[in-house]
Amino acid sequence: MSMSKPPSSASAPAKLILCGEHAVVYGRPAIALPLAGVRANVQVDQGRPGSGITLRATNLHQEWKVDGASPDPLGELALATLHHLGIPPSDLVIMIDSAIPIAGGMGSGAAVATALVRALAAHIGCVLPAGEISALVYTCEQRYHGTPSGIDNTVIAHERPIWFERRMGSGQRRTVNHIEPVAIANPLTLVIGDTGVRSETRLPVGEVRQRWQADPTTYEALFDQVGSLVRQAREALAMGDHESLGPLLNENQRLLETMGVSSPELARLVQAARDAGASGAKLSGAGWGGVMLALADDDDITRRAIVGALKRAGAVQVLETQIESSVLV
């Protein structure tokens, strides 16, 4: 009697950019956080003999075969992962089930891709290091987003708060990623408001690129200001100084508005959160839609006031999350 292999599964978290999005594409630092409670799940099962690789997005009610000659980005990632693991493509059914809004600024694509790589590795009883997963997922991100900085795949694969900076490699045109853990002295309470507007990352990223190409002096100066506030935000996090952090997030929002990546819906939620007592609020991710975040003090009354204000201002979903303190070891 032949025993069929049990399915293997894995998951990966959503992400939030606390500060520094867009400027991070141009070599300035950014701080990103994993959202442990909002996840993408992938299960890998043996398929029928000769059926090839099937991808099934259960919550989107979609199913497709991976075409070896011209695979879609996720199919290509599955093939690349099998190649990386040293196993030939076989008959597999890969089921994706994600609670992360698509094109909502929370890293849905990178989280699905990370869960897929982890689940394929688990299928052969292997655990890949975060750096290898991140590199595989980055190639997939490039297919979707054009010129991603790599911050999404990095924070999701490492699953801890990170400082991320792209630096030019010595004497080459290649960039190397500088990644450091971020110390958080006091837990952070964040309220996340979803505008419900879906916007593909590559669109605002392309807009900023065009503006930068048209006026590099102005945009380099804007990116420098973002880099400076991200450095101050790291200090504030390390000191547990949330009073300083809030205004830095507000300043980041102002600079993102100048870059042209906010939207009326985002601006309305940001203002509502501030009016309700958030010490800082800004869009998070690429912008033109998706989510914003608000820094709530550690008291229930303000937190609940922010949640209520975001709902009244049109948020289709409001999430609360606590980012635990973390020390550098």
Catalytic residue among 45, 97, 152, 194: 152
Alpha helices in 159-215 (DSSP H): 202-214
Q: Whose Cβ is closer to ligand MEV: residue 95's or residue 266's?
A: 266
Whether the CA torsion 40, 76, 157, 269 is positive or negative: it is: negative
| Pairing mode, strands 62-65 and 53-57 | antiparallel
How many CB atoms lie under 10 A from the CB of residue 193? 31
Alpha-carbon distance of 109 to 153, in angstroms, equals 9
Q: Which residue is nearest to ligand MEV (CB)?
A: 149
CB of 23 to ligand MEV, least distance (A): 8
Amino acid at 131: G
CB of 77 to ligand MEV, least distance (A): 17
**CA dist 294 to 266, 272, 283, Å?**
12, 10, 9
Which residues, in sequence order, are CB contacts of 114 under 8 Å at separation 6+?
12, 40, 133, 134, 137, 153, 156, 157
CB of 10 to ligand MEV, least distance (A): 22
Alpha-carbon distance of 315 to 192, in angstroms, equals 9
Contact 282, 103 (CB under 8 A): no
Interface with ligand MEV (CB under 6 A): 17, 21-22, 24-25, 148-149, 151-152, 201, 205, 285-286
Which phi and psi angles does 241 have, rounded to 5°? Answer: -95, 80
CB of 290 to ligand MEV, least distance (A): 9
Contact 19, 31 (CB under 8 A): yes
Q: Whose Cβ is closer to ligand MEV: residue 138's or residue 279's?
A: 138
Q: Whose Cβ is closer to ligand MEV: residue 45's or residue 152's?
A: 152
CB of 95 to ligand MEV, least distance (A): 25
Q: Whose Cβ is closer to ligand MEV: residue 225's or residue 244's?
A: 225
Q: Whose Cβ is closer to ligand MEV: residue 93's or residue 208's?
A: 208
Contact 274, 181 (CB under 8 A): no
CB of 108 to ligand MEV, least distance (A): 10
Which phi and psi angles does 71 have, rounded to 5°? Answer: -70, 155
Annotated active-site residue 152? The verdict is yes
Q: Whose Cβ is closer to ligand MEV: residue 51's or residue 210's?
A: 210
Q: Which residues pair with 167 in a beta bridge?
A: 176
DSSP letter at 21 equals: T
Radius of gyration from C-alpha coordinates of the chain: 20
Q: Which residues are catalytic?
A: 152
